Amino acid sequence: MLIDGVPFRSIWLEPDGRTVGVIDQTKLPHAFETLTLAHLDDAAHAIRSMQVRGAPLIGAVAAYGLALALRLDASDEALAKACEILLATRPTAVNLRWAIERMKSVLAPLGPQARAAAAYQEAARICDEDVAINQAIGRHGLALIEAHAKEKRGAPVNLLTHCNAGWLATVDWGTALAPIYMAHDAGIDLHVWVDETRPRNQGAGLTAWELGKHGVPHTVIVDNAGGHLMQHGRVDLCIVGTDRVTARGDVANKIGTYLKALAAHDNGVPFYVALPSTTIDWSIEDGVREIPIEERAEAEVLSVAGRNDAGLLINVAITPKGARAANFGFDVTPARLVSGLITERGVCAASREGLAALFPNTHGR
């Protein structure tokens, strides 16, 4: 997508053909800074500290992290160790495991001398495929938005999204935001309610930044405002991303997504989830019981990061000294609250049958 007219992806191979460039998302929206990942540890740190985040991008960074590791040591032991280190960085987004498994299946059968070059090639393939997948998601989601636009006879279509499932969370285009960008580019009058998404404010900081750079009309709202807006007919449809979808269509996404789905259900507002098939975990059914939910540091809840009047990026405390906090990163929305899953192969019901119809050659149980 474009940043001030310049096309960017969220991850790229640097001209030296070895190191990997990413955008430091912990600095956005206040500063646009890029980082160079030169070693496995840089990639692992970038994922753990959320300099890069979003399920598909986490997978892409892990793939390049393996390439960086194998450049220095391509033995079986080094490959196994690198996979272990990367896998431990974040627990919920299944794209991480998917990317590592895919890389391993390509690399393990090769002799060590061939592994590094093959790893770079496979990582690049994963990135290019992600872009194509997200464009397809965008096209399928666009048809849904067009249908709403028709119903509204020219009045703006109001969408609501949670967290950041835009191009920053993927290699390009995004998942939930891809249909929104395509609808906007097609001239559909639309407006996006952007949940701020405490504690890390991916909505306020990243989604609002992305949409602003692309010229999409949007308004940031506090996380608790969605229900009120839906009760008053001010949301036509919700589209969110996801970090893991089970074989029966349960959806893990950023904490707070479940409450939006409940409010949408109560108010008859369609609630769609956009996902690449790389986010489906065919090995599990019951999302509430089986998806590991990341718990992060208390500090993210006890303080807020922002820019002060002098332009400095600072953290300020928002709770009494000594207050304790719990910081659950994700929640699970049961399939029954999801109106449909927007995938690269089309829109389907959030159910085992719906997913299996689009992806018949899977290893679901």
> Of the candidates 192, 340, 183, which has an alpha carbon nearest to the alpha carbon of residue 274?
340
243 tagged catalytic: yes
Residues 169-188 that bind ligand MRU (CB under 6 A): 169-170, 174-175
Q: Output the smallest distance, CB 330 to ligand MRU, in A.
A: 7
Given candidates 127, 165, 216, 348, which one binds ligand MRU under the rule CB under 6 A? 165
Residues 250-269 that bind ligand MRU (CB under 6 A): 253-254
Residues 34-73 that bind ligand MRU (CB under 6 A): 53-56
Residues 6+ apart with CB under 8 A from 319: 301, 302, 303, 325
Query: Considering the rule CB under 6 A, would residue 74 count as an interface residue with ligand MRU?
Result: no
In this complex, which beta carbon is closest to ligand MRU, that of residue 158 or of residue 253? 253
> Of the candidates 170, 166, 252, which has an alpha carbon nearest to the alpha carbon of residue 212?
166
Size of the site for ligand MRU (CB under 6 A): 18
Q: Which is the catalytic residue, given 42, 172, 236, 243?
A: 243
Given candidates 67, 163, 264, 338, which one binds ligand MRU under the rule CB under 6 A? 163
Alpha helices in 155-248 (DSSP H): 177-185, 202, 208-214, 226-231
Residue 203 CB coordination number (10 Å) = 28
Q: How far is CA 115 from CA 42, 81, 82, 164, in A?
A: 20, 15, 13, 34
In this complex, which beta carbon is closest to ligand MRU, that of residue 140 or of residue 254? 254
Residue closest to ligand MRU, measured at CB: 241
Q: Output the smallest distance, CB 362 to ligand MRU, in A.
A: 20
- Opening angle at CA 84, ends 80 and 86, nearest 5: 120
Residues 319-358 that bind ligand MRU (CB under 6 A): 329
Q: In whole angstroms, give the CA distance from residue 76 to residue 91.
A: 24
Alpha helices in 108-200 (DSSP H): 112-151, 177-185
Q: How far is CA 75 from CA 67, 78, 89, 359, in A?
A: 12, 5, 22, 35
Query: Considering the rule CB under 6 A, would residue 277 count as an interface residue with ligand MRU?
Result: no
In this complex, which beta carbon is closest to ligand MRU, that of residue 53 or of residue 260? 53
Query: Considering the rule CB under 6 A, would residue 202 count as an interface residue with ligand MRU?
Result: yes
Backbone angles phi, psi at 103, to 5 degrees: -60, -45
Binding site for ligand MRU (CB under 6 A): 53-56, 93, 163, 165, 169-170, 174-175, 202, 241-243, 253-254, 329
**Mind telling me the catalytic residues?**
243
